[in-house]
């Protein structure tokens, strides 16, 4: 899902690109993005439990496109759910169940075309589907990794360690993780748009002047992310204005509690905000070099013992 409204806000620094621009490089690919798109082509079969391999065919055509333009794909799959995303996952599950119910009613009424739209909304990618694609990737000798938890954090880690030169996704969260080069909206012909971290200060629709990645991250969390729902009425521009005025998220939230009439802020909001912030910084990922579980960034000394306790399972148990 990512940060609602972030990509439109960054339109002024978008750059049209093509896969051939990355010839000779390695790009991390969010495998579940391609899996979901592939599932749309056979949504009814999947929802009804009918055998199909259309989603595998879709996925491998994307792989073939990378190879054709001389780009090496490094596919990253989601692993287990993060406890901090429990509310988001439950909301998605509820929406899928409602869509499936509507799809079945339309199908039984003979309205197959309308049913297709609802099947696409309720189709879910299962671990079995991911494994079927993994087998195809192994046969094609394509590099891949299943993240311990979130593919987003895993891709950010691969880029940080220099194992990939950029990231292909549809999720704006990658920018909040601090990724340097992110490619969105990659189509079947290899065209897409690129956003570079170094250009954030040049955005015209909102001012990041003299802001660090910490302040940008806090703005996005305050406006609502996968790890913390938005405060009612709080968008990115309002979050940016409040943080620019009050400097820290603690002071900003204190101000919102007293004066922001549209906000209904829960008593534990500050703690939930802190957990979301720590998840963006220290989520658990897999290091393919040492073959071990590590944190996305080095954990500060004052947190080293705490992150080993159950209290910090929100980073990935």
Same domain, 60 and 192: yes
**CATH number reported for the structural domain that contains residue 238 in this entry:** 1.10.150.20
Single pTM value for the model = 0.89
Digit-coded pLDDT (tens) for 249-259: 999 998 888 87
Digit-coded pLDDT (tens) for 111-164: 666 656 666 676 788 889 999 999 999 999 999 999 999 999 999 999 999 999
Same domain, 56 and 123: yes
DSSP 8-state secondary structure symbol assigned to residue 288: T
Q: Which of 176, 200, 224 is the last residue of a domain?
A: 200
Same domain, 142 and 91: yes
Residue 256 is part of which domain span?
Answer: 206-279
**CATH number reported for the structural domain that contains residue 160 in this entry:** 3.40.50.1010
Query: Are residues 100 and 7 in contact, defined by beta-carbon separation less than 8 angstroms?
Result: no
Digit-coded pLDDT (tens) for 268-307: 999 999 999 999 999 999 999 999 999 999 999 999 999 9
From the number of C-beta atoms within 10 Å of its C-beta (0-12, 13-18, 19+), residue 304 rates as exposed
Same domain, 73 and 215: no
Q: What are phi and psi of 187, to 5 degrees?
A: -95, -175
Per the domain annotation, does 84 fall within a domain?
Answer: yes
Same domain, 66 and 190: yes
Same domain, 212 and 184: no
Same domain, 47 and 167: yes
Same domain, 60 and 114: yes
Per the domain annotation, does 42 fall within a domain?
Answer: yes
Per the domain annotation, does 139 fall within a domain?
Answer: yes
């Amino acid at each position: 899902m990512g940060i609602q409204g972030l990509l439109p806000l960054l339109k002024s620094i978008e750059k049209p690109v093509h896969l051939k621009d990355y010839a000779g490089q390695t790009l991390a690919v969010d495998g579940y993005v391609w899996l979901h798109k592939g599932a749309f082509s056979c949504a009814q079969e999947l929802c009804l439990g009918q055998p199909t391999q259309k989603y595998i065919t879709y996925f491998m055509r994307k792989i073939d496109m990378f190879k054709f333009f001389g780009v090496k794909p490094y596919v990253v799959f989601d692993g287990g759910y993060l406890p901090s995303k429990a509310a988001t996952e439950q909301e998605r599950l509820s929406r899928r169940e409602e869509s499936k119910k509507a799809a079945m009613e339309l199908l039984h009424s003979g309205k197959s075309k309308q049913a297709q739209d609802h099947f696409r909304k309720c189709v879910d990618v299962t671990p079995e589907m991911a494994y079927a694609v993994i087998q195809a990737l192994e046969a094609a000798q394509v590099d891949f990794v299943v993240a311990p938890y979130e593919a987003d954090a895993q891709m950010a880690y691969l880029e940080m360690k220099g194992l990939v030169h950029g990231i292909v996704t549809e999720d704006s969260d990658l920018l909040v993780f601090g990724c340097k080069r992110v490619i969105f909206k990659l189509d079947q012909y290899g065209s897409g748009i690129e956003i570079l971290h170094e250009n954030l200060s040049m955005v015209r629709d909102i001012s990041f002047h003299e802001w660090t990645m910490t302040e940008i991250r806090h703005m996005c969390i305050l406006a609502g992310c996968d790890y913390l729902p938005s405060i009612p009425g709080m968008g990115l521009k309002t979050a940016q204005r409040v943080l620019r005025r009050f400097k820290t998220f603690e002071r900003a939230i204190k101000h919102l509690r007293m004066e922001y009439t549209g906000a209904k802020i829960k008593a534990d909001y500050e703690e939930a905000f802190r957990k979301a912030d720590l998840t963006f910084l220290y989520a658990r990922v897999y290091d393919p070099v040492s073959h071990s579980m590590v944190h996305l960034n080095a954990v500060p000394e004052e947190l080293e013992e705490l992150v080993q306790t159950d209290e910090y399972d929100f980073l990935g148990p």
